[in-house]
Amino acid sequence: MPPQPSEPRRRVDLPAAVSTPSNMKHTRLSRRQNPQSLALRFRRFATRHTSTIPFIFLLIFLGLYAVNPTPSNPVHRFILLSYRLPPSHEPTTLNQSPAQYSKGPRDLAFVSFYMILLSFTREFTMQELLRPLALHFNIKSRDKQTRFMEQMYTAIYFSVTGPAGVYVLSRTPVWFFNTRGMYETYPNKTNDGAFKLYYLFQAAYRCHFEYMGIAVYLTHDISDFFLATSKSLKYINSPLANAYFGMFALIWIYLRHYLNLRIILSLFTEYRTVGPYGELNWEREEYKGPLANAITFVLLVSLQVLNLYWLFCILRVIYGFVRHGVAKDDRSDDEVGSEHDGEGEDEGEGEDEGDQAGHDKAE
C-alpha cells in the first residue's frame, strides 16, 4: 500500500498572554518596581504603623542638623533652645547661676519640632507597646483597647512631665505654690534652660507670666496622671480600681480646686500689691495692669468652671459606688455602650484581626 502523504506541519503561535518563566520573572520584578505599586505599599504600611510619617520627618530634621550641628544651622532652632544670653559679668554668685534664655519667634520652631516628636512617641508607644499590653490583659474590644492605650500613654506622658514640673518649680520663687512669688520678680523676661524647656514643651508662650503658668500646668499634669492611671486600672478590672479612684478624687480636689482657687484669689490681693503694677507698656514689655488682670481672671475662672464640671462627674461616680455598689462613669454614652455590648464587639474583633493578618501576608 503506497505511503500516505504526511500533512504539513502548522506553526502554532503562543498567545501573547502566555509567557516563559524568564518573562514572568521579569514582569514580576517590573511590577514591584512600579512607583505606583511602591506608593500603595507605603501607604498601606503607614496606615498600619501610624508612627511612620512623624518618624520620617524626625529623620529629615536630624539629618539636616547633623550636616552642621552649630547654631548657624537653621535647623538648630527646631531642635535646641534659642536666644541664649551671653554669660553675665556681674558678681561671682550670679555667674554660678544656670545660663539664661530670653524669648522670641524662633521658639515657635522649637514647639513645632517637639509636636512632631510627641506625635511619633504617642503613635509608636500606643501601637507597638500598649496594644500588646491591652491584649495581655484580655481587652478584646477594639474601642476599649483604644481607650486603654490612650489613657496609658497619657499616664506615661504625665509621669515624665509631672516630676519635671516639680523640679522646675522647686527652683523658682513659686515653690511650694507660693502665690506671692508669682509677682515679686515680674516681668520675668529671662529663664534658665530647664524652665524654658518645660514651658515650651507645654506649648506656652509669651506675656512673662511664666511663674503663674507653670503652677497651673503642674496642678493639671499631676492630677491628669492619677486620672489616666485610674481609668487604666478600671479597663483591666483591677481590684485596686475603686480605692485608687477615691485617692485620685482627693488629689484632684487639692490640686485643681484648692491650689487653683488660691491662684485666682491672689489676683484680687497680691497681683496689685506685689511687684510692679500699672498701665500697659509695650516698649518695656510690661503687661501687669488692669487689662492683664481681667484677662487672667477670665481664663482661670473658665478653667475652674470646666474643672468643677469634671468634679461633679467624679462625685457622681463615687455616689453611685457608695449608694449602689457600682462605680460607673456615664460621661460618655459610647463608653457605657461598649461596656454593655462588649461581647458583640469581641465577636467582630477576631474578624478584624484576621483581615489584618490577611493583608499582612498579601503584602
pLDDT at residue 210, as a whole number: 78
pLDDT at residue 134, as a whole number: 93
In terms of Cα–Cα distance, which of 114, 148, 126, 161 is closest to 48? 126
Confidence category of residue 334, pLDDT binned at 50, 70, 90: very low
Please give the angle made by the CA atoms of 128, 131 and 136, to the nearest 5 degrees: 120
Q: What is the DSSP string of 1-46?
A: -PPPPPPPPPP-PPPTT---HHHHHHHHHHHHT-HHHHHHHHHHHH
Q: How far apart are CA 276 and CA 183, in angstroms?
A: 8
Residue 217 grid coordinates: 500646668
Give the bridge partners for 8, in sequence order. Answer: none
Give the bridge partners for 101, in sequence order. Answer: 84, 191
Measured CA distances, 231 to 96, 155, 224 (Å): 45, 10, 11
Instruction: Tell me whether the omega of the peptide bond preceding residue 276 falls within 30 degrees of 0, making it cis.
Output: no
Q: What is the mean pLDDT of the chain?
A: 80
Question: Do residues 167 and 77 make contact, with C-beta atoms less than 8 angstroms apart?
Answer: no
pLDDT tens per residue, range 83-124 = 998 876 444 444 467 888 988 889 999 999 999 999 999 999
Taking 90 as the threshold, does the pLDDT of residue 299 lie above it?
yes
More confident residue, 15 or 179: 179
Residue 141 grid coordinates: 474590644
Instruction: Tell me whether the omega of the peptide bond preceding residue 120 falls within 30 degrees of 0, making it cis.
Output: no
Structure pTM? 0.74
Q: How far apart are CA 75 and CA 119, in angstroms?
A: 19
More confident residue, 30 or 106: 106
Share of the chain above pLDDT 70, in %: 73
The per-residue b/e assignment along 15-45, b for 16 or more CB within 10 angstroms, e otherwise, is: eeeeeeeeeeeeeeeeeeeeeeeeeeeeeee
What's the start-to-end Cα distance of the chain, in Å? 67
Domain boundaries, the chain: 45-88+108-129, 137-339
Confidence category of residue 7, pLDDT binned at 50, 70, 90: low
pLDDT tens per residue, range 217-262 = 999 999 999 999 999 999 998 999 999 999 999 999 999 999 999 9
pLDDT at residue 337, as a whole number: 36
